[in-house]
């Protein structure tokens, strides 16, 4: 089905809003209850406040990052930047669903969206190999463990689950070596930890096409993520122009 430019933009606007639950909105009562439960389960948070993950939205990244991601995927299409797309750290699937939606809106059938996740939450820190993660507690949050079945159901709810979506279940260190031979137009890293960020860069960077895009969700918000990015850049002696999307997310073009 050929969509006019205006209809395509309206479909993608609506998809973005739905993924961020911007239409119905998060219920304040539900958010307050979740925050209370989180404080009870993790008493050490009391002084620092609970994490405010959305109760219902299919993505936690917010409208600005969704809009920016859509723009980059559209650029890969308009500028003929070859390859597939991968998100490392999909949670409920929202950002990956958006990437699949952009392909659908443009009638693209020969590119895939890879969804890499443990689908069981974050790993415990491996302090021997990655001392930076030593104090990381994100593995303790049940809110971050979303099953593959749930993510598949979320894709299906938007009519976007098909053979252009590939699930890579397991820890990044085990699954990502298996896609090193693939070519990616865009990689989106959202695994929060030093280990998760470094594993993704180490395994995927060379598979990104020239002029392709690297997006790092947690760069500004989580110091271990930023440290992993710079350790990788330094190790590889890369010269990159890191650009902000908002207070946390950054991106650059591979050149
Ligand atoms: C912040 S959430 C991702 C948010 C998501 N991109 C969105 O649009 O809302 C982090 C995800 O990364 C996954 N994750 C983090 N480190 C991982 C690792 N080393 N291996 C596999 N999954 C990992 C977690 O299971 C979790 O689903």
Question: pLDDT by residue (tens digit) across 132-150?
Answer: 999 999 999 998 999 999 9
Residue 158, by phi and psi: left (phi above 0), alpha (psi -120 to 50) or beta? alpha
**Residues belonging to the chain:** 255
Give the span between the Cα atoms of 49 and 30, in whole angstroms.
Answer: 16
Q: How far is CA 51 from CA 37, 91, 249, in A?
A: 11, 15, 17
Question: Which residues have any ligand 1 atom within 6 Å of their CB?
Answer: 59-61, 87, 89-91, 94-95, 117-118, 121-123, 144, 146, 171-172, 190-193, 195-196
- Nearest atom within ligand 1 for CA of residue 170: 21
The pLDDT of residue 48: 59
Q: How far is CA 149 from the centre of its chain?
A: 18
Of the candidates 55, 61, 164, 70, which has an alpha carbon nearest to the alpha carbon of residue 108? 164
CA pair distance 188, 205, nearest whole angstrom? 11
Q: What SS3 class is residue 252?
A: strand
Bridge partners (DSSP) listed for residue 86: 114, 187
Q: Looking at the CA of residue 96, tell me the nearest atom of ligand 1.
A: 8
The Å distance, Cα 2 to ligand 1 centre, comes to 34
| Top mutation candidate among 190, 198, 203 for ligand 1, by most atoms within 8 Å of CB | 190
pLDDT digits (tens, 9 = 90+) for 214-238: 999 999 999 999 999 999 999 999 9
- Residue owning tokens 């750290």: 89
**Beta 250-253 vs 184-189: how paired, if at all?**
unpaired
pLDDT at 36: 85
pLDDT at 45: 67
2 and 107 in contact (C-beta within 8 Å)? yes
What residues of the chain score a pLDDT lower than 70? 1-2, 45-50
Determine the residue of 89, 91, 199 to mutate for testing ligand 1's pocket, defined as the one with the most ligand atoms within 8 A of the Cβ atom.
89
d(CA 114, CA 188): 10
Q: Give the SS3 label for residue 207.
A: helix
Starting from the edge strand earliest in sequence, which strands make up the sheet with 165-169, in order?
165-169, 113-117, 84-88, 184-189, 208-216, 250-253, 243-244
């Amino acid at each position: 089905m050929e969509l006019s430019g205006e209809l395509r933009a309206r479909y993608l606007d609506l998809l973005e809003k739905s993924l961020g639950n911007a239409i119905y909105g998060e219920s304040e009562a539900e958010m307050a209850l979740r925050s209370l439960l989180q404080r009870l389960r993790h008493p050490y948070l009391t002084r620092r406040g609970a994490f405010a993950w959305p109760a219902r939205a299919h993505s936690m990244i917010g409208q600005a990052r969704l809009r920016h991601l859509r723009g980059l995927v559209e650029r890969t299409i308009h500028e003929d930047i070859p390859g597939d797309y991968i998100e490392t750290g999909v949670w409920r699937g929202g950002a990956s669903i958006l990437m699949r939606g952009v392909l659908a809106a443009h009638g693209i059938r020969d590119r895939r969206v890879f969804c890499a996740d443990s689908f069981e939450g974050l790993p415990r820190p491996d302090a021997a190999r990655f001392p930076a993660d030593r104090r990381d507690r994100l593995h303790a949050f049940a809110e971050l463990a979303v099953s593959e079945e749930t993510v598949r159901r979320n894709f299906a709810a938007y009519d976007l689950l098909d053979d252009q979506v590939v699930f890579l279940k397991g820890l990044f260190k085990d699954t990502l070596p298996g896609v090193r031979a693939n070519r990616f137009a865009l990689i989106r890293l959202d695994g929060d930890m030093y280990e998760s960020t470094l594993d993704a860069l180490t395994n995927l960077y060379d598979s990104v096409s020239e002029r392709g895009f690297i997006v790092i969700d947690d760069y500004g918000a989580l110091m271990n993520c930023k440290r992993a990015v710079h350790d990788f850049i330094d190790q590889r002696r890369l010269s990159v122009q890191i650009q902000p999307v908002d207070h946390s997310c950054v991106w650059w073009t591979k050149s």
